Structure 1
Amino acid sequence: MSKTIFQTEKREDFQSKIKKIRFNLFPAYRRSGGRVCFLSSDWKEIHIKIGLDWTTRNYVGSVFGGSIYAALDPIYMVQLINILGENYVVWDKSAQISFIKPVKKTVYARFLLSDDLLEEIKDKIEKEQKYIFDLKVCFEDENQTIYAEAIKTIYVADRKYYQQRKK
């Protein structure tokens, strides 16, 4: 069983465990040094971890900032794609990351999408066909010390609207 520091009511099932393994084996994600250690069966909660090893070590002996960012980069987008389904288009628009403390041990991040947020997204898209919003995530240790925090700007649109705009 993979370790995580976050308590949750959510559960993994057999299918989500297989998806977690496949996600971790995907070459672009695997090379980040990050690992998904929890994937809820409804995709609403994902925990990842990254630690210091020879593949993530930078010149000064801490985890490389690019590895920290790469480990968290695709998570919110992939969550939303899987939750919202094929009637929506989801893209990362931008990101801002702050490196607060050097990472020299394993740290964890929790990606949690609430039912209220998902309803807000659907309501906005129903009214305006697209919605751009920010989601925050932090890497922290078991003592809740924050090492890095990122704000991801996400674009979600109605698929038909998006396809018309592409023309």
Structure 2
Amino acid sequence: MFDRLRVRLWKLAFRLFPAYRGTGGRVTHIEPDWSEVEVKVPRNLRTRNYVGTIFGGSMYGAVDPIYMLMLINRLGDDYVVWDKAAEIQFEKPGESDLYATFEITDAEVAAIRQALQEQESIDREYTVDLVDEGGVVHATVEKTLRVSTNDDKRA
């Protein structure tokens, strides 16, 4: 029960936090263990650009913090996670609502912990697609995250 309440509070925080709210994106699902997060970027007055498609900044902004927050929540307080780099490739104009599904497996979390036993910090790359209801890719975002132990605050 506590997990469901915690998830509801996180979703509310995304809705209320001004920087995320401004993207027009909406976090629609968070697994209690943060292994999966789903985001919707609706095509509406807040997200439309001059030519009537979803503004690229809304697409990117809606997905920008998700992998970092997932890793922070999956790894716990003994680790430091920072965004290092990002790239977005636009494939098609967003003429309808777009969706992104983020996943970080248990195996990925274990691999990060293992790697950090041998190194001070590591970089991990993740990719997420923004797709329409038919599964057609409209944009692909690649994120590079730097992960270190709490011992290395300079991450």
Percent identical pairs in the alignment equals: 41
- Structure 1 outlier segments of 4+, above 3 Å: none
Secondary structure of residue in 2 paired with 1:24: helix
Aligned to 2:9: 18
Number of residues paired by the alignment? Answer: 153
Q: 1:138 aligns with which of 119, 125, 129?
A: 129
For 2:133 and 2:52, locate their aligned partners in 1 and report how far apart those are by CA, in whole Å.
21
Q: 1:78 aligns with which of 56, 69, 82?
A: 69
Secondary structure of residue in 2 paired with 1:103: coil
Q: Does 1:88 align with 2:79?
A: yes
Aligned to 1:99: 90
**Any stretches of 5+ residues in structure 2 without a counterpart?**
none
* Aligned alpha-carbon RMSD (Å): 1.3
Secondary structure of residue in 1 paired with 2:20: helix
Q: Does 1:69 align with 2:74?
A: no
Q: Does 1:35 align with 2:26?
A: yes
For 1:120 and 1:150, locate their aligned partners in 2 and report how far apart those are by CA, in whole Å.
22
For 2:118 and 2:13, locate their aligned partners in 1 and report how far apart those are by CA, in whole Å.
36
**Any stretches of 5+ residues in structure 1 without a counterpart?**
1-11
The alpha-carbon deviation at position 86 of structure 1 amounts to: 1.1
Aligned to 2:139: 148
| Contact 1:51/1:104, CA 8 A, preserved across alignment | no
Q: 1:128 aligns with which of 119, 123, 129?
A: 119
Give the letter for the 1:51 counterpart.
P
Give the letter for the 1:121 counterpart.
I
For 2:31 and 2:15, locate their aligned partners in 1 and report how far apart those are by CA, in whole Å.
15
For 2:57 and 2:118, locate their aligned partners in 1 and report how far apart those are by CA, in whole Å.
37
Secondary structure of residue in 1 paired with 2:69: helix
For 2:128 and 2:75, locate their aligned partners in 1 and report how far apart those are by CA, in whole Å.
20
TM-score by length of 1: 0.88
Aligned to 1:6: none
Q: Does 1:51 align with 2:46?
A: no
